[in-house]
Amino acid sequence: MAFADPKEQLEVIKRGTEAIIPEEELLLKLEASKENDRPLKVKAGFDPTSPDLHLGHGIILKKLRDFQALGHEVLFLIGDFTAYIGDPSGRSETRPAISREEIIKNSRTYERQVFKVLDKKKTQILSNSRWLSNLGSEELLGLTSLVNVSRILDRDDFSKRYKEGISISLREFIYPLVQAYDSVQMHCDVELGGTDQTFNILLGRDFQRHYGQSPQVGVFLPILEGTDGVKKMSKSLGNYIGLDESPQDIYGKVMSISDELMWRYYLLLSARDEKEIRNLKTGHPMDAKKALAREIVSWLHDSQSALEATRDFETKFSRRSFPEDTKEKIYTARSRKVVDLVLDVSDSVNTKGQAKRIISQGGLVINGEKYTDPNSEFPESTALELKIGKKEFLRVAIKEAS
RNA sequence: GGGGAGGUGGCUGAGUGGACAAAAGCAGCAGACUGUAAAUCUGCCGGCGAAAGCCUACGUAGGUUCGAAUCCUGCCCUCCCCA
């Protein structure tokens, strides 16, 4: 296929990135690629430490997608071996160990989620255990001699931990080395990652050079803040929006971010150009937020689901009435108390204490009526509409216990 | 190898024999307010129980005691200093 003009390609690639190191080299690579009619190999690696990818990963996937649209080849690396080591990047403590089974399970879910964004035909999925689990100690030692301790301690996250007297395990020092070694094995031209990956990705350049390869170019993307607006989006902080979540959940979570954060999300996740965004800023913030939520849902699902999620949200919150596609549940009445009803039927309530708390604080509405006494009885009807807290809506069919 | 300091609820962190299901802050949840939010305010925030109360929990395993997060011993883990 014919590649576009390298300079134009570079412009597309640059959009939304934080840094390209070194930029001139990328241009050279793009030129060579066009000349030889050979696509660039673009790497991005994710460690399957949790079953869900989120919008933070989404930013990187989007950029990979850009590369694909320009005709390049994406090597999507599942860090099933590196997950086992635990990436210390940006961490203030050692990652908890994760079991093999979990890693395998998570890897599978990644493959599915990734293709919500990437073009299957231009993507190769690789696992680094393929070469890392057979890496001999001799070779590993060879890698360790390529890096100086002082250089590794220069890293912000390490030096901070060191100064604060927080433990650093030797295995964490190994992590950047094997990530860099991945690039050697994969012969990458480009590696994408968040800015927290700077050290690891640049180390890949040194390693490739050492192995006689032309060093990869690092393309760095901004780190997305989580829904709390302060910390980086991550599963362990619980402030994430998963790529795999339902349209309703994604929509709702986007709507729950602050106005300020919304503009950051626009910048990093929306396809809209600056002019459009500026235009939205003059309107009502809620409309802008709805537009963003809708855009993100249609990106991860489709426009039909986005429309439905919009409607659902409006009935639920703006009009505070019952959504159409409410979950239906059957409750086999072991008692007539509302606490038991809530406990058995709700997905979000797990203990009786929690059920009592929600009820006594006014979070339970049955058929439009508030129930504040946990021990009161629900009405004698075979079908009830429950609202539990602000987010959970249920239609419950009552079945008498036999 | 030697010496010292520690390990408390999701997190930070107080508590040094009974008043401790354990201060305070953060996070979370509910309510009010609103433009969905955010911010703010109010309340809740181990489990079971209508309640009285019971059970589980202060790294882990034992012990002392009428009574232990608090004292003793072994073990595990972390940090600092020296070698």
d(CA A81, CA A46): 11
Q: Which nucleotide is nearest to A313 (CA to C1')?
A: B36
Name the nt closest to A228 by C-alpha to C1'. B38
Tell me what the mean pLDDT of segment A78-90 comes to.
85
Exposure b/e, A259-285, CB count within 10 A at least 16 = b:
eebbbebbebbbebeeeeeeebeeeee
The answer to whether ipTM exceeds 0.90 is no
Q: Encode pLDDT of A155-214 as tens digits.
A: 888 888 888 888 888 888 889 999 999 999 999 999 999 998 999 999 999 999 999 999
Looking at residue A220, its amino acid is F
Give the nearest nucleotide to A358, CA to C1'.
B30
Q: Give the model confidence (pLDDT) of A131-151 as tens digits.
A: 999 888 899 999 999 998 888
CA of A56 to C1' of B31 (A): 33
Residue A314, exposed/middle/buried by CB under 10 A (0-12, 13-18, 19+)?
middle
* Distance B46 C1' – A353 CA (angstroms): 10
The rounded Cα A186 to chain-centroid distance in angstroms is 24
| CB distance under 7 Å to strand B: residues | A 162, 165-168, 228-229, 238, 255-259, 284-286, 289, 317-318, 351-354, 357-358, 361-363, 375, 389-391
With contact defined as beta carbons under 8 Å apart, do A296 and A266 qualify? Answer: no
Minimum-distance nucleotide, CA of A169 to C1': B78
Give the strand order in the sheet containing A392-400.
A327-333, A392-400, A383-388, A364-366, A369-370
Amino acid at A109: T
A96 band by pLDDT with thresholds 50, 70 and 90: low
Lookup: tokens for A59: 């930013």
Instruction: Give the closest residue to A191 by CA, choosing from A128, A142, A233.
Output: A128
The pair of three-digit structure tokens given for residue A195, joined into one six-digit string: 């800015």
For A366, residues 6+ apart whose C-beta sits below 8 A from its C-beta are A338, A378, A379, A384, A385, A386, A387
* Residue A85, SS3 per DSSP: helix
Query: What's the burial of A242, exposed, middle or buried (CB within 10 Å: 0-12/13-18/19+)?
Result: buried
Q: A145 CA, B25 C1': separation in Å? A: 46
Q: Which nucleotides of strand B lie within 7 A of protein CB?
A: 27-32, 35-38, 43-50, 78-80
- Quick one: DSSP state of residue A95? P
Q: Is A77 helix (H, G, I), strand (E, B) or coil?
A: strand
Report pLDDT for A266: 93
Taking the model in full, what pTM does it have?
A: 0.85
The residue length of chain A stands at: 402
Q: What residue has its CA nearest to the C1' of B78?
A: A167
Closest residue (Cα, C1') to B29: A358
Residue pair A55/A296 in contact (Cβ under 8 Å)? The answer is yes
| pLDDT value, residue A401 | 67
CA A91 to C1' B76, whole Å: 25
Q: How far is the CA of A260 from the C1' of B12 (A)?
A: 27
pLDDT band (50, 70, 90) for residue A261 = very high
Which two tokens mark A259? 């106005």
Query: Of all nucleotides in the shown strands, which has a C1' nearest the CA of A316?
Result: B36
Query: Using CA atoms, how far apart are residues A390 and A149, in angstroms rounded to an integer?
Result: 52
Local confidence band at A97 (pLDDT 50, 70, 90 cut-offs): low
Residue A107 near residue A185, CB atoms below 8 Å = no
To the nearest 5 percent, what fractions of chain A are helix, strand and coil? Answer: 50, 15, 35
